[in-house]
Structure 1
Amino acid sequence: MTVHTLHPAPRVILVNAGAADRYTDTWSDPDLRCEIGPQLSCAEADDLAEILTELGAPEAGHAWLLAHARADDEGDRHDHLREEGIREYGE
């Protein structure tokens, strides 16, 4: 018996533009990224980067991945970004 699963369509929500701008401004802070990024799990970093990108701040999303990647070990999901993250934020 073959079971076929359907992937649900992504949920689309409306967000107040002011709230979205405040969110991206807050989470675009380089000091915050530098301090918190290495503490995030790979999934948490991916989720934060994705929501920032969806809210119109893809540079901030990528920066969070770099800040997070500094602490990734060899073979971790963001290991390929580690060197760039260290150059950007230090060790």
Structure 2
Amino acid sequence: MATIPDPHLAMVRPVTPRTPQGCEECLREGSPWVHLRLCLTCGHVGCCDSSPNRHARRHAGTDGHPVVRSFQPGEHWRWCFVHEALV
């Protein structure tokens, strides 16, 4: 049985991380983070759901950019916040 690709993958673009040194909002607020996620639509770098502020998820909801990839060295997976699934 073939799987249907996530329709949100159409939003993926070549991006440059806007704040490669860390979570954009946490850097501005002075907040800690656990892991980082890169928005594959605009290059926003946000903190993961294990971080206190969950900025990657917040960005996905407010900006409508649901697909991220891990921004951790050596990790190459992508996640869709709408479908709560790896893509």
* TM-score where L is the length of structure 1: 0.25
Higher-helix-fraction structure = 1
* TM-score where L is the length of structure 2: 0.25
Larger radius of gyration: 1
